[in-house]
Structure 1
Amino acid sequence: MANKIKLLLAEDEAALGQIVKESLETRDFEVMLCENGEKAFEKYTTEKPEILVLDVMMPKLDGFTLAKNIRAIDDDIPIIFLTAKSQTADVVEGFSIGGNDYLKKPFSMEELIVRVHNLLSRTKTQRKSEIIKIRNYTFNFPKQHLTFKDEDFVQLTHREAHLLFHLIKNKNQVLDRSLILNKLWGTDDFFTARSMDVFISKLRKKLIKDKRIQIINVRGFGYKLTV
């Protein structure tokens, strides 16, 4: 039997949430149901689901704010918003903060399931293309592994992996310090800038086995990965 898909459902309407949960569980989903945004964020951090289905209007933490908090630390997990709202501005906001899809209430379970599978398939395809060769290193971005030649891999942290990914994608060019701080840390203040310096130092040590790879500090601008 195939492994069940871990799905986090945040929905404050108890009856609707239970119906959706039970319907998905008959289709090989493992569903974590939360009745508000705060509990959903806690469950996200501890359970590491594969996809999020978030109601927009929830107590304590609404779906848009919850998605912003998650996107500050996770660029990749697919997010579907559920909402009774249909105004263009709401749809635009949902996509602008990192949502991948938008489903208006009332909806059919078949449509939700199709959208979930489509998003997961798209994400899987993207991740397969994100195994990157950099000189004698192989960087597996989805798994956050860095391997030198045929040696055992080094496990990177979430932020180390995302920082290295952006450095590689912009190799031999200056990676703007403020842009990457805002993307990965959500702010570019002094303390997060110091934190980024620490992560850069850690990456330098993990790339030290190939002397052709350098992370250069371009004072006043950012960092540049040269290969």
Structure 2
Amino acid sequence: MYHRIGEVRHDPHHLAVTPRRFAGQMAALARLGLRGVAMSELVRAMRRGAHRRLVGITFDDGYADLADHVPAILHRHGFGATVFVVSGRLGGVNDWDAGTPWPLVDAAGVRRLADAGLEIGSHGRTHRRLAGADPALVRAETYDSRLDLEALLGRPVAGFAYPYGSMDAAARAAVREAGYAYGCAVFADRAAQSLSALPRVYVGEHDGVVRLAAKRFLYRWHVQKGSP
């Protein structure tokens, strides 16, 4: 799970990875015999039991400079990825993170990312926490954001990523009822793991090949055995 790929001077939340490091991480996956894919492809492979050598690559928030580096690096290895964007903040800034007013992709940028072969998913309409939220807010963040993006792209939107990883049973049900094929969490309790709450692992600037392999092992252990 990534956020921003770019050269960033001020990053108090440790959300950015430099293009050079990201390129090295993708090369490391390829050397390990793994293939990075969009989440929809991973979910289809999971249904067939054919996902062992696949790694879902995701980007949350949809920062404006993603298109500057990400598609070319992914295409170098024949990889895919999913970008989860905030439909009500296109062309704005990430005002949910104090101290980092980073620009977000606009509508034209979303189309460019899609045209470059990246899957577009929803990260809500206004990046709100969904666990315990009012049902009307949950519906707007899930169902309405999907309508926003489908109107923009002219194609179905299959995936949702929970802002902050915040979810509960009602939020997971809302994602299913909104028509999404899958939902992405961060780490989810084993009891909550399902296609509407797929766990993910954060990847940062300091993750080289050894740390990536260790995180993949941790992820597989977490999914198979559950967290302690």
More strand by share: 1
TM-score by length of 2: 0.31
Highest CA radius of gyration, 1 or 2?
A: 1
